[in-house]
Amino acid sequence: MKLDEYQQLMDRGWRRCGVYYYRPALAQSCCQAYALRVDTQNFKLRVTHEKVLKKIKRIQPLQNDLNDLHQKVQLKSEIKEDQFTQSILSQMQTDIDTKDLVILSKVGQHFTFKSIQYKEEEHIKQFKQIIINNLSKITIQELSQVFLITNEDHQDILLHLFRTSLQEFSIYEITVFRGQLNRIENEWGFGCNLIPYFYSKLHAKFKPLYPEFQTLDENKQYISLISKYLSNLEFKFKVSQWDNQILIKTPQTIKEKTFKSMVLYYLQKADLSNTQNFAKEKKHHQIEIKWVKAQFQEDSFEVYKRYQKAIHDKERVSRQSYLNFVCVDALDSKELGCWHMKYYLDNQLIAVGVVDLLPQSLSSVYFFYDPAYKKYSLGVYGVLQEIEYIKQHQKENPQLKYYYMGFYIMDSKKMAYKADYSPCELLCPQTYRWIALTKPIKEKIKKITEYAQDVRLAEEKVAQLGYSINLDGSTINDMDFSDVDIQNFILSHIKISQAGKQYSISQLKKNYQQYFMNLFENLLGKIGKQLMTEFLFAVN
């Protein structure tokens, strides 16, 4: 793929994954994904971005390998001799085992701490497995009876939706503040979004088929069924009357969470003038970024495996899948094309940004980091560094202006954050104009998302509202086919390659001509007139 060709594809809503190029089919998807880019010339840092940059200035190399006995003994010794920790603990009364508590150095006007003993992620995995194991025992007959569904095909769909939801739900920690759980259900430690998550999928599927289909608040039988299967377990569960979340409680977890917040509370109250002698001086560390043309390197692969395991719960990652995903130099350029931005801290690789460099833009492909540095928000830092690269190179290359971040999905937390980098623009999927992401555009997207998630609404409103977010409705010339004889255009310009020879559609057998005509008419509307004349289409 040539650089200018890929730039045009991105401006038609396409993205690259390895050597594959794709774009969302919005009319068939409930998730409305819009291509997003940032105008780097006018980019302004937010307060949250500045906080991340300050945090990065205080970054410290972490020791990943504690298997060495000498290191363990040294760590225990430091903990035992930590006078400041003891001065804080003397102000508190607790039955929590504090032998592994370490008070860290001052950060800004506050102190922080870590507890080696308390591993919150292990609790969450344990809770999730218990929920899955117990709710998987619910039968198709029980579900069908609760939802009054008698059709056997619909019953199968119901069971499938329920079981996929069990694999996809998330558990979150209820926050703590000054020793108290800062939540209405204040005695509970963790929440689980399974019930509303499953019901939203179910409602979208069955409401068109069963107009009398009950809402979640109305269906008390379903909540009773869930509660029944979560009773008499190792941990305490209940369904919140407030928002229908499943709440989880264990005495030890609550103790540790409360103790954790109490330590922070006393640290903030501590007399800093009396504790300055206890604070250890720390060496100032800097992150160094090294640019490497896309290729396999062992240290990057090791970080990638740790990232996939910790963030995406993937135990095994094959070398070939990694090669295909981020190591393929898919763009035709020695100077630009596919690169790895490798972030080193004291010669230790802590993150890798995979980017495509183009004459007019930088496109973010993927970013992964060492999970040991998760608290430093390296993902945000990576975005800011990629934007900074563009700003630094604009003098030597004035046409370099935009930062492409992939797809923005308003109702997805993992994708909506991209709007935090402003000013940003979305690509209208009908007129192919870049539109500033303003409040009216967000309201328009919200309406489109609502009817895209409901089949009946989509049928009624697609003609009225359309999928266009370009409010003036004008289409760019390359994607405007109003004055084009499409069949003539395809017959005149499209080249097909097979076994080293080139053909036009008119040279094919008649029973193949219409098939390829339909295929290329569809594709023409997705990539535009110019690229259709430049590409050569190979047929097996």
The domain boundary residue, chosen from 205, 235, 254: 254
Q: What is 82-129 written as a DSSP string?
A: -HHHHHHHTT----S--TTEEEEEEETTEEEEEESS--HHHHHHHHHH
Of 144-158, 169-183, 276-290, 339-353, the poorest mean pLDDT is in: 169-183
Residue 479 pLDDT exceeds 90: yes
Of 23-27, 139-143, 370-374, 481-485, the poorest mean pLDDT is in: 23-27
Of 200-209, 218-227, 377-386, 530-539, the poorest mean pLDDT is in: 200-209
pLDDT at 92: 60
Q: Is residue 112 part of a domain?
A: no
306 burial type by CB count under 10 A (0-12 exposed, 13-18 middle, 19+ buried) = middle
pLDDT at 108: 42
* 135 lies in the same domain as 228: yes
Q: What is 196-236 written as a DSSP string?
A: HHHHHHHHHHHTTT-TTPPPTTT-HHHHHHHHHHTSS-SSE
Per the CB < 8 A criterion, the answer to whether 358 and 336 are in contact is yes
Q: What is the mean pLDDT of residues 352-371?
A: 96
The domain boundary residue, chosen from 254, 276, 299: 254
Q: What is the mean pLDDT of residues 500-529?
A: 90
pLDDT at 91: 63
Q: Is residue 111 part of a domain?
A: no
pLDDT at 345: 93
Q: What is the mean pLDDT of residues 100-117?
A: 45
Q: What is the mean pLDDT of residues 50-67?
A: 79
Q: Is residue 191 part of a domain?
A: yes
* 159 lies in the same domain as 203: yes
Quote the number of domains for the chain.
3
Tokens of 337: 């094309």
pLDDT at 182: 41
Q: Is residue 461 part of a domain?
A: no
CATH number, domain at 295? 3.40.630
67 or 294: which carries more pLDDT confidence? 294
* Residues 391-436 pLDDT 10s: 999 988 999 999 999 999 998 888 999 999 999 999 998 899 999 9
pLDDT at 254: 55
Per the CB < 8 A criterion, the answer to whether 34 and 408 are in contact is yes
Q: Is residue 465 part of a domain?
A: no
* 303 lies in the same domain as 344: yes
Q: What is the mean pLDDT of residues 252-261?
A: 58
* Residues 4-29 pLDDT 10s: 999 999 999 999 999 999 999 887 77
Q: Taking all residues of the chain, what is their mean pLDDT, rounded to a whole number?
A: 81
Q: What is the mean pLDDT of residues 71-98?
A: 55
* Residues 173-189 pLDDT 10s: 665 443 343 444 456 66
Q: Give the full edge-to-edge strand order of the sheet including 424-427.
A: 287-293, 337-345, 348-358, 361-369, 402-409, 33-39, 424-427, 434-436
177 or 77: which carries more pLDDT confidence? 77
Q: What is the mean pLDDT of residues 458-465?
A: 57
Look-up of token digits 């998302």:
449
Q: Is residue 476 part of a domain?
A: no
* 249 lies in the same domain as 294: no
pLDDT at 246: 81
pLDDT-based confidence at residue 251 (cuts at 50, 70, 90):
low
* 308 lies in the same domain as 364: yes
482 or 279: which carries more pLDDT confidence? 482
pTM score > 0.75 for this model? no
Q: What is the mean pLDDT of residues 361-365?
A: 96
Of 5-9, 176-180, 280-284, 487-491, the poorest mean pLDDT is in: 176-180
* 400 lies in the same domain as 311: yes
Which alpha helices (DSSP H) does 287-369 contain, by range?
A: 298-312, 319-322
The domain boundary residue, chosen from 413, 429, 453: 413
* 40 lies in the same domain as 159: no
Residue 280 pLDDT exceeds 50: no
pLDDT-based confidence at residue 106 (cuts at 50, 70, 90):
very low
Percent of the chain past pLDDT 70, that is, above it, reads 76
164 or 387: which carries more pLDDT confidence? 387
Q: Is residue 289 part of a domain?
A: yes
pLDDT at 404: 97
CB neighbours of residue 347 within 10 Å: 7
Q: Is residue 276 part of a domain?
A: no
* 221 lies in the same domain as 300: no
* 156 lies in the same domain as 234: yes
CA distances from 481 to 35, 339, 340, 433, 535 (A): 22, 36, 39, 15, 19
Cβ contacts of 261 within 8 Å, gap of 6 or more: 176, 177, 178, 179, 180
CA distances from 319 to 322, 339, 489 (A): 5, 18, 44
Domain range for 504: 481-538
H helix or E strand, kind and range, residue 467? none
* Residues 377-389 pLDDT 10s: 999 999 999 999 9
* 291 lies in the same domain as 375: yes
